[in-house]
Chains A and B, each alone.
Chain A
Amino acid sequence: MQSEQHQVATEDKFVVFQLGGEAYGVDINKVQDINPMTKITRVPRAPEFVEGIINLRGRVIPVIDLRKRFGLPPQEYTRSTVIVVAEVEGNTIGVIVDAVSEVLPIPRSVVEPPSPFIAGIDSDYLRGVAKLDDRLVILLDLERALSRQEKSALKDKRFLQAAEKAV
C-alpha cells in the first residue's frame, strides 16, 4: 500500500512529441486524444496563433500550431504531423506538432527545473527538463503555453523585435 503510493508520487506519465528536432512531453492527464492531421477551416480575424477550427468527431475545436506559438520556422505538414487534443483552462484545443513518439513514464527524480536557455522558449511554459539516459525531454506546461493570456508571449515578441532592430 505504502510502496504503491510511493510509486505514484514519484513518477508521471508524459506524451512525448517532436517539435523542431526537440522532444517535448505533456502530462498524459491533459491529453484527450491524438488525431491525424485533418482539414482545418481558417477563422478570419482570430488570434494570430490560432490556425483554425476542425471537426473532432462532431465537435468544433480550435487548433494551434505549436511551431508558430513558439516562434519556430514554419514547416509543411507531413504524414507524421498530428493534432494532440488537450484540455486547457476548460477548453478543448488541438495542438499541431511534428510527430508523436511515445508515452513515457518519467521519474520525478530526473526532472530538473527549467533553465532559461532551453530552445528559446519562455521558461514560464516549462515544468522542467527530464534527463533520461540517452536524451532530454522538455516538459511543457500546456495550460501556460496555450493560455489566451499571451501577455508574456506578446511581450517576448515585442522585445525580440525591438532587439532585432537594435542589432
Chain B
Amino acid sequence: MASNLDITPEDLKVFLEEAEEQLQRLEGDVVKLEKAGHDAELLQEIFRAAHTLKGSSATLGHQPMARLTHSMENVLDKLRKKKLSPSADVVNLLFECLDVLRGMKDDIAEGRETTVDLEPLLARMPADAAAGPAPAGVKAAAAEAVPGKTARPSAGSPGDERGTIDVAREFVTQLSDTERSRIAAGLAEGAQAGICRVFFDQDCLMTSVRAYQVLLALGEAGEVLKSVPSAEDVEAERVGHEMTAYLLTMEDKAQLEATIKAIGDVARVEVSMAQAAPAGEAQGAQPTVAQAEGAREGSQAKKNATTVRVDVNLLDNLMNLVGELVIDRTHLAQILGRSEHGAGTSEAADELVRTSAHIGRVTTQLQEEIMKARMLPIENLFKKFPRMVRDLSLKAGKEIDFVIEGQETELDRSVIEEIGDPLMHLLRNSVDHGVESPADRKAAGKPKTGTVRLAAEHSESHIIITVSDDGRGIDTEKVKASAVRKGFLTEAQARRLSDKQALDLIFLSGLSTAQAVTEVSGRGVGMDVVRKNIERLNGSIELHTVPGHGTETRIKLPLTLAIVRALLVSLGQSVFAIPLTSVSETLRLTPQMVKTIKRKEAIVVRESVLPLVRLNRVFGMPAEANETGQYVVVVNTNGQRLGLVVDGLVGEQEVVIKSLGGFIGNIPGLSGATILGEGDVALIVDVGSLVKSETNLARIGLVS
C-alpha cells in the first residue's frame, strides 16, 4: 500500500520536503518541551506540526503515518489540556514516535513498503489515545483537538446546523503565514479577528454583485484578509451561493451581522470572532490560538512573503554558468591588455574597452548575487543537533544545557552540506569526553549541569563556527603519553613539545581524542578526519583548552567553495593555483638563503625558521635547470607555516574550482582544477594537505 501511493513525483518531493521540515521542527520543539515543561505556546506549535504532518500523510494515503500522527495529536492534546504532564516518559515516547515517523518517511523516499508494526507503540500511548478512532479527517480532529478555553468561538448557537466553527483552527488552516502575521499585528492593536460566512438566497440571480457588496461592506468594517471566493473570482463572476471572509475588525459580531444582513439576497450570515483575551481576565494568560500563531510566525512570515523555492540543481547550474562568465571576463581583459588597439587608438577600440569594463562589472555583480542566492542560514544544519545532544547526554548520564547562537548566519549551501559531519563529531566529543558527569562536576565545584555551546558568526569573508564546552578540558600530558605509547614519538620528544604542539597531536590519525583523553574508545571518525574535511573546504580548525575549564574548537570557513582568489605560480611549463586564503607572503629565493636543518631545507624569515617544500618534487616534476630565480610562497594554515618553492609568480586571479572528478579521485596535494583565461587548465594546490604531510613529528621536534 505504502509503496503504491497515488502521487506524482513532484508532489512526492514536496511531501518529503515538508515532512522533513515538520519532523525537524518537532524534534527541536520536543527537546525544548523536555526542558520547558508545560508551555502552552510551545505545545501549540508542536501540535500544529504534528497536525500538518497528519494532514499531508492522510492526503498521501499513508495510513500508518496518519494513524501514528493522530495518536500523537491525542497525546499532545492531553498535554495541552494539562491532563498529562510532559514527563520524561512522555517525551521519550514522543521521540520514539518521531523516530518511527522518520523511518516511514525514509521508506517513502526509497519507495519501500513500510513494515513497522505500530501496535506496540500505539498501545503504549497514554490512556485511551491509541484506542481512539482512526483519523476521520481534519474536521473531526479539529473539533476534538482544540481546547475550548484557548479560542472558544464566541458566536454560533449550539444548535446551529453547521455546528461549532472553530475560529482559531480555521485561521491556522486557511490563512497564509503573511495573513496570520497581519492578524497578529491587528490583534496587538486591539482589533478582533473574525470569520464571516454569508449564504445567499438560492434564487439569487446576481450572486457576484451581492458578493461584491459583501466584500465592500466588510472592507468598510475592517480589513478583509482573505475571502472564498476571492475578490478576483467575484470580479470574474465565479461565485456560488456561499461566501467566507476572514477579517480583522474593530466592530463586534452584532454590528457585522447587521451590516451584512442589510445587503439584498443574503439568506443567512454567521459571524465568529476570535478575540484577544484582555489582560487580567481569568484565562488571560492564555492567548488565543490565532494570536499565538500569528505572533510566532510574524517575523518569519515577513521574510518568506516574497520567496520562491528553487531546485538546488538550478542554482548549481547558474553558479557554473557564472563561473564560465568569470573566466571569460578575465580572458577578455587579457586580450584587451595584449591588443595593440588599446584605449585611445580608435573610437571603436575605446568603445570596446568601455564595454568590456562594463561586462566586467556586471559579471562581478551577477556573481555576488548568485552567491547570495545560494546562501542559507546555518540554522538548517544547527536544528539537527539539539536532539542529538539530548540523546547523547541522556545515554552518557550527563546533564547538559545546549546553547545555539548565530543560527541566522548565512553561508553557501555547499559548505553547509559539508560541515555537518565534522560538527557532529565535535559536539559528540564535547558531550562524551568534555562535559563531566554531574557527580564529578559537583566535586570540582562546578554547577552540575554542563554547557555545550554551538555558535556561528561572520568575520569578513569567512564564517567562524565555534563548538565549546565547560568540561574538563584536554589533558595534554595524557595526549602526549598516548602518542608515546602508540609510537608516534619518543618520550624525549614529547617532553620538548609545547602545550599547543601537544594539543595538535590530537589531529594525528590513529590518535583520536577519545583514546587520548579518556580511555573510552572513540567511535566514528577521529579528529584527523574532522581536520581533513575542514581543510578540504579551504578552512582551518583551531583547538583551545583550559584544563578543568573546558575546550573550544574554532572552525574558520570560506563563505563559498565555488570561486576563490588564487595566486598563480609556474612550475616549469605548468601553472598551478594556490588559494590566496592560505598565502601570507611571497619572497624571492636565492640559493644562499637555503639552510639545511636535519636534512630538510629551510630559510630564515624575520628570525624564524621556515621549512621549505619544493613543489616540483612533491608533484614529481623535473627541477628547473635554473634554480636561482625561484620564489617562495609562504603559506599559513592551522597555525603552521611552510614555504612552497616555485619557479615563477604568474599573477592573481579569481578561479572557479572544478573537481577532478570521481574518475581521478582524490590526489594528495591537489584540491581540484580550474580553467584559466586562455582556456588552459591549471591544477589547484591543496595547501592544507601539503602542510599536514610536512608537519610530521620530526618537524615538531625540530621546531621546538
* CA–CA, A88 and B662, complex, Å: 11
Contacts of B658 in A (CB 8 A): 59-60
A92 and B662 CA atoms in complex are apart in Å by 10
Quick check: B665 and A148 within 8 Å, CB to CB? yes
Chain A residue nearest to B619 (CB atoms) is: A44
- B10–chain A nearest beta-carbon distance, Å: 24
Contact A60 B324 (CB under 8 A): no
Q: Which residues of B contact A90 (CB under 8 A)?
A: 662
Q: Are A50 and B663 in contact (CB under 8 A)?
A: yes
**Cα distance A89–B620 in the bound complex, in angstroms:** 29
- A44 to B668 CA separation, bound complex (whole angstroms): 10
**Neighbour of A44 across the interface among B661, B665, B667, B681, CB < 8 A:** B667
When the two chains form their complex, are residues B663 and A45 in contact, meaning their CB atoms are under 8 A apart? no
- Considering the complex, give the chain A residue whose CB is closest to the CB of B682: A41
Check A43 against B660 for contact (C-beta < 8 Å).
Answer: yes
Tell yes or no: B670 within 8 A of A by CB.
Answer: yes
Q: B605-629 interface mask toward A, CB cutoff 8 Å, 1 = contact, 0 = none?
A: 0000000000000111100000000
A62 in contact with B574 (CB, 8 Å): no
Q: Which B residues touch A43, using CB under 8 A?
A: 660, 664, 667, 670, 673, 683
Do residues A61 and B661 form an inter-chain contact, with CB atoms below 8 A? yes
Bound: A61/B674 CA distance, A: 11
User: Across the interface, do B661 and A60 meet the contact criterion of CB distance under 8 Å?
Assistant: yes
0/1 string, A20-44, CB within 8 A of B gives 1: 0000000000000000000101111
Q: Check B681 against A45 for contact (C-beta < 8 Å).
A: no
Question: In the complex, what residue of chain A is closest to B324 when comparing beta carbons?
Answer: A58
Interface size of B in residues (CB-CB distance below 8 Å): 29
Given A41-B683, A55-B680, check contact A62 B621 (CB 8 Å): no
If A53-B681, A60-B673, A60-B681 touch, does A45 touch B574 (CB 8 Å cutoff)?
A: no
- In the assembled complex, the Cα of A28 lies from the Cα of B164 at a distance in Å of 68
Q: Are A45 and B683 in contact (CB under 8 A)?
A: no
Interface string of B662-694 (1 = CB under 8 A from A): 111101111001110001111100000000000
Most chain B C-beta atoms within 10 Å of own C-beta, residue among A53, A61, A62, A146: A53
- Specify which chain A residues have a CB less than 8 angstroms from the CB of B327 in the assembled complex: 58
- Report the minimal beta-carbon distance from A71 to chain B, rounded to whole angstroms: 20
- Residue A93 CB within 8 A of the other chain: yes
Residues of the A chain whose Cβ atoms lie less than 8 Å from the Cβ of B669:
44-45
Residues of B within 8 A of A44 (CB): 618-621, 667, 669-670, 683
- Contact B660–A53 (Cβ < 8 Å): yes
Instruction: Contact check, B660 vs A62: say whether CB atoms are below 8 A apart.
Output: yes
Q: Across the interface, name the chain B residue whose C-beta is closest to A91.
A: B663
Q: Which residues of A contact B324 (CB under 8 A)?
A: 58
Most buried by B among A42, A55, A148: A55
Question: How near does chain B come to A101, taking the closest CB pair, in angstroms?
Answer: 26
Contacts A41-B574, A43-B667, A45-B620: A55 and B675 contacting too (C-beta < 8 A)? yes
B680 close to A47 (CB less than 8 A): no
Question: What's the nearest-Cβ distance from chain A to residue B677, in Å?
Answer: 11
Which of B619, B659, B662, B674 is the one whose CB lies under 8 Å from A45? B619
A162 within 8 A of B: no
Instruction: Digitize A41-72: 1 where CB-to-B-CB distance is under 8 Å, 0 elsewhere.
Output: 11111110010011100111110000000000
Q: Chain B residues with Cβ under 8 A from A50's Cβ?
A: 663-664
Contact (Cβ within 8 A) B663 A55: no
**A46 partner residues in chain B, CB cutoff 8 A:** 660, 664, 667
Q: A42-B574, A54-B681 are in contact. Are A62 and B663 (CB under 8 A)?
A: yes
**What are 29 inter-chain pairs, A to B, with CB distance below 8 A?**
A39-B681, A41-B574, A41-B673, A41-B681, A41-B683, A42-B574, A43-B664, A43-B670, A44-B619, A44-B620, A45-B619, A45-B668, A45-B669, A50-B664, A53-B664, A55-B679, A55-B680, A58-B320, A58-B324, A60-B658, A60-B673, A62-B663, A88-B663, A89-B662, A90-B662, A91-B662, A91-B663, A92-B661, A148-B665
Interface set of B (CB-CB < 8 Å, partner A): 320, 323-324, 327, 574, 618-621, 658-665, 667-670, 673-675, 679-683
Contacts A39-B680, A43-B667, A58-B323 supplied; 15 other A-B pairs, CB < 8 Å: A39-B681, A41-B574, A41-B683, A44-B619, A44-B683, A45-B620, A45-B667, A53-B664, A55-B681, A59-B658, A60-B673, A60-B681, A62-B661, A92-B661, A93-B663
